[in-house]
């Protein structure tokens, strides 16, 4: 096997303005992604094999934003028609509106799994009231993500301890040390890893902490193009063991400058056709 050794990597001079902590992690994730792509290309292996090669495909959900029940119903029907088998619904606003939206989505898509993402919008009590109202309507979500403010770890624990619906930390979870603390507290059942929130190396450590403590893994994304979503798909397919996959953002973009990385069918991203690296090209 021929092997190319990387001698050097040139990065265009960067001016980084004042950044939020997550933005710094995002810059790190971008650099790590470029290095991992270059490294695995030089080895002549696809990125998912580098991460362990556990599988060659991942299946994503698709999100429905905070819309009216009527719009939610239509979007649910469209989502099912696309061949998607789980739907993530944005909640965390007015409780009545949220419950009505979830009910409408359930009606439009009776046979798909439902994930709720409150995006820090509830108090602990409101989150429990929402789940109870849904339970009264025979709706049991597979998961509720980030019910309370990211710094309200006690509130997160309270919700987790008072419902049988699995509760995930998203904004509350950004490093291996912080995830270990949340798990130790009994504050979460599931951790949503986002590469743009922690970078790749830290994400590997978060996944290891979760596996060691029998905490389920989810992968999510910011508003990302096919480039970063392909990297996340390779990460998840290669590592394996992710119960929840929320990588739908390329489907929401009007235009995407990238092609390749995976083949899509319905909600399934298949990376088996990638021969080396990330397999992404510019259009
Ligand atoms: Mg989220």
Q: What is the CATH number of the domain that holds 87?
A: 3.20.20.120
Q: Angle of helix 153-161 relative to helix 124-136, nearest 10 degrees?
A: 30
pLDDT at 23: 78
pLDDT at 16: 47
Residue 31 lies inside a defined structural domain of this protein: no
Does residue 6 surpass a pLDDT of 70? no
Average pLDDT value for residue range 87-113: 98
Q: How far is the CA of 200 from the centre of ligand 1 (A)?
A: 18
Q: How far is the CA of 249 from the centre of ligand 1 (A)?
A: 13
pLDDT at 8: 54
User: Would you please indicate which residues are annotated as catalytic (active-site) residues?
Assistant: 90, 117, 145, 170, 194
Q: Which domain holds residue 76?
A: 44-282
Minimum mean pLDDT among 1-10, 85-94, 115-124, 258-267: which range? 1-10
Q: How far is the CA of 146 from the centre of ligand 1 (A)?
A: 6
| pLDDT-based confidence at residue 2 (cuts at 50, 70, 90) | very low
Provide, rounded to the nearest whole percent, the portion of the chain with pLDDT above 70. 92
- Give the pLDDT confidence of 267-277 residue by residue, as tens digits: 999 999 999 99
Mean per-residue pLDDT over the chain, rounded: 93
Residue 144 lies inside a defined structural domain of this protein: yes
Strands 258-260, 280-282: pairing kind: antiparallel
- Give the pLDDT confidence of 125-178 residue by residue, as tens digits: 999 999 999 999 999 999 999 999 999 999 999 999 999 999 999 999 999 999
Inter-CA distances, 75 with 81, 87, 96, 107, 175, Å: 10, 10, 19, 11, 34
Residue 15 lies inside a defined structural domain of this protein: no
User: Side-chain half-sphere of 100: how many Cα atoms within 13 Å?
Assistant: 11
Residue 1 lies inside a defined structural domain of this protein: no
List all residues 6 or more positions away from 71 whose beta carbon is below 8 Å from its beta carbon.
none
Q: How far is the CA of 27 from the centre of ligand 1 (A)?
A: 20
Does residue 10 surpass a pLDDT of 80? no
| pLDDT-based confidence at residue 44 (cuts at 50, 70, 90) | very high
Q: Which residue has the higher pLDDT, 130 or 6?
A: 130
Instruction: Provide the domain count of the chain.
Output: 1
pLDDT at 24: 86
Does residue 21 surpass a pLDDT of 70? no
Q: Which residue has the higher pLDDT, 10 or 217?
A: 217
Provide, rounded to the nearest whole percent, the portion of the chain with pLDDT above 90. 89
- Give the pLDDT confidence of 107-135 residue by residue, as tens digits: 999 999 999 999 999 999 999 999 999 99
Q: How far is the CA of 11 from the centre of ligand 1 (A)?
A: 31
Q: How far is the CA of 222 from the centre of ligand 1 (A)?
A: 9
Q: In this structure, what DSSP letter does residue 266 have? A: T
Q: In this structure, what DSSP letter does residue 277 have? A: B
Q: How far is the CA of 219 from the centre of ligand 1 (A)?
A: 10
Residue 21 lies inside a defined structural domain of this protein: no
Q: How far is the CA of 119 from the centre of ligand 1 (A)?
A: 5
Average pLDDT value for residue range 202-220: 98
Residue 149 lies inside a defined structural domain of this protein: yes
Residue 209 lies inside a defined structural domain of this protein: yes
Residue 10 lies inside a defined structural domain of this protein: no
Does residue 1 surpass a pLDDT of 50? no
| pLDDT-based confidence at residue 48 (cuts at 50, 70, 90) | very high
Inter-CA distances, 111 with 99, 105, 130, 221, 259, Å: 18, 11, 21, 25, 31
Q: How far is the CA of 147 from the centre of ligand 1 (A)?
A: 9
Average pLDDT value for residue range 82-95: 98
Does residue 179 surpass a pLDDT of 50? yes
């Amino acid at each position: 096997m021929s092997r190319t050794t990387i001698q050097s990597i040139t990065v265009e001079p960067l001016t980084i303005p004042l950044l939020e902590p997550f933005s710094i992690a995002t810059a790190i994730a971008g650099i790590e992604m470029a290095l991992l792509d270059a490294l695995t290309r030089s080895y002549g292996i696809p990125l998912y094999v580098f991460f362990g090669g556990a599988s060659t495909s991942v299946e994503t959900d698709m999100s429905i934003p905070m819309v009216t029940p009527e719009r939610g119903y239509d979007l649910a029907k469209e989502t099912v028609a696309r061949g998607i088998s789980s739907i993530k619904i944005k909640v965390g606003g007015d409780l009545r509106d949220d419950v009505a939206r979830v009910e409408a989505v359930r009606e439009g898509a009776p046979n798909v799994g439902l994930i709720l993402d409150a995006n820090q919008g509830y108090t602990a009590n409101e989150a429990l009231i929402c789940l109870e109202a849904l339970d009264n309507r025979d709706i049991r979500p597979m998961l509720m993500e980030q019910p309370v403010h990211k710094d309200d770890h006690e509130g997160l624990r309270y919700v987790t301890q008072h419902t049988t619906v699995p509760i995930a930390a998203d904004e509350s979870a950004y490093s291996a040390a912080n995830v270990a603390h949340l798990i130790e507290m009994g504050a979460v059942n599931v951790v949503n890893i986002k590469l743009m929130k922690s970078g790749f190396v830290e994400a590997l450590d978060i996944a290891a902490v979760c596996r060691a403590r029998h905490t389920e893994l989810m992968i999510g994304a910011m508003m990302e193009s096919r480039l970063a979503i392909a990297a996340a798909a390779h990460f998840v397919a290669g590592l394996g063991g992710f119960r929840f996959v929320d990588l739908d953002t390329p489907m929401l973009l009007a235009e995407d400058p990238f092609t390749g990385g995976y083949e899509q069918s319905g909600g399934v991203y298949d990376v088996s056709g990638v021969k080396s690296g990330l397999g992404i090209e510019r259009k």
